[in-house]
Structure 1
């Protein structure tokens, strides 16, 4: 079973600092990262900057289409040039089929605001107490929003967004 986690930080550097923690945890085999992206929303800006983290992920990454659609829904900002139009609208309904429902989207939208950053990460096999301890030990004070995906939902997500 995969987990789509969003770590929200009350500053614009927290997400990038958390990426470094995840890299270390992944090397120690305490978490398996399939895909990840960051959002940094500077104060005074109308929209956040988004970036897919290819250096943290390997085989099985969902790709830019998934992140583009998700960030387009959350912040009305497509990532990697995904056009949010009729095609994206058709895919939007399929997100609820893969465990990403309106409650998850609204919760993230309400929490990731100007002056904050967030790390979006698709993982499995996390040793949760070690992950939480490492994040805390790094001095990061993030709020965790997550949704678990069943094996069927994960397979459908990969099928829908495979590049």
Structure 2
């Protein structure tokens, strides 16, 4: 079963420094990274910067479309026009069908704010405590949503096109 986790860092730079850590954790077989992306939100910025971590993406990597739509729902929705908003609302319904519901979105929106950063990680077989302890630089908070096999398959189907 794949797990989508969101790890929040207390600084805008925190999530940017985890790529090497995740690679090392994979070598130690403490996690299997399927895909990952980061959000960095400097305190003075009006919106966050996002980046897909291609060096970590495994065979089951999601498309950039998935990350773009998820980040659009999370951080840019108030900036979108009505027509785009309606399309995103329909997409939001599909995401709820695969385990990314309003509670998950509201939780991430309320916690990933200016002055913070986050790692969005699709993984398998993570030893969560060891992963958390390995992240550099202070306080890291886990926001977590499990995806069962059926929901993972639907996720891939929705974003395959």
Same fold (TM over 0.5): yes
1:114 match: 114
1:80 match: none
The structure in which a higher percent of residues are helix is 2
| Structure 1 unmatched runs, 5+ | 78-82
CA distance in structure 1 between the partners assigned to 2:138 and 2:63 by the alignment: 27
Q: 1:147 aligns with which of 126, 131, 145?
A: 145
Q: How does 1:126-141 map to 2 (within 5 A)?
A: 126-135=126-135, 138-141=136-139
| Contact 1:18–1:140 (CA under 8 A) maintained in structure 2 | no
| Contact 1:19–1:119 (CA under 8 A) maintained in structure 2 | no
CA distance in structure 1 between the partners assigned to 2:108 and 2:95 by the alignment: 15
1:18 CA displacement: 2.2
| Contact 1:31–1:127 (CA under 8 A) maintained in structure 2 | yes
| Contact 1:72–1:84 (CA under 8 A) maintained in structure 2 | no
1:63 CA displacement: 1.2
1:159 aligns with 2:157: yes
CA distance in structure 1 between the partners assigned to 2:18 and 2:157 by the alignment: 29
CA RMSD of aligned residues (A): 1.7
Question: Secondary structure, in 3 states, of the residue corresponding to 2:36?
Answer: strand
Q: Deviations over 1:80-103 (max 9, x none)?
A: xxx955544332211111110100
CA distance in structure 1 between the partners assigned to 2:133 and 2:113 by the alignment: 26
| Contact 1:32–1:126 (CA under 8 A) maintained in structure 2 | yes
Q: Deviations over 1:97-147 (max 9, x none)?
A: 111010000000000111111100100111223223323xx3431110010
CA distance in structure 2 between the partners assigned to 1:93 and 1:48 by the alignment: 24
| Structure 2 unmatched runs, 5+ | 78-82
2:123 match: 123
Paired residues, what number? Answer: 156
Evaluate the alpha carbon distance shift between residue 84 and residue 49 of structure 1 in structure 2; reply closer, same or farther with a 3 A threshold.
farther
Q: TM-score, normalised by structure 1?
A: 0.88
